[in-house]
Amino acid sequence: MRFLKITLTTVLVVTLLFSTVFYNRSSVVNSLVNDYLTQHNSAITCIDFHLNTNVDLVISRLCIDSPYAEIELIDTLIEWDMESSDLAVDNLTEAIV
């Protein structure tokens, strides 16, 4: 019985964590990306995106303020072309850079 309680509690906590991150994904991405962009005196001012059924990133709107230019992307589709073996952090970082 104790194992069942621990398992249910763990599943509940993980579900709450994922749902919180999912519903606040814009602020999470904003925070993570702005940490990187501050090195370049830039910042994201607006972002609206979602994942479609093919796990492609669909950016409805993205605004970047920079001392060099103001960038606004509207209705942009980013398609991922990676094998499951390429999902290591080092491979993803190399592919993005």
pLDDT in tens, the chain (97 residues): 788 889 999 999 999 987 877 777 777 777 778 888 888 888 888 888 877 777 677 888 888 888 888 888 888 877 666 565 555 656 656 655 5
pTM of the shown model? 0.53
Instruction: Identify the domain containing residue 49 by its residue range.
Output: 2-96
Q: Are strands 43-51 and 70-78 parallel, antiparallel or unpaired?
A: unpaired
Provide the number of structural domains found in the chain: 1
**Of 72, 18, 75, nearest in space to 49 by CA:** 75
From the CB of residue 36, how many other CB atoms can be counted at a distance below 10 Å? 9
From the CB of residue 68, how many other CB atoms can be counted at a distance below 10 Å? 8
The per-residue pLDDT for 93 is: 61
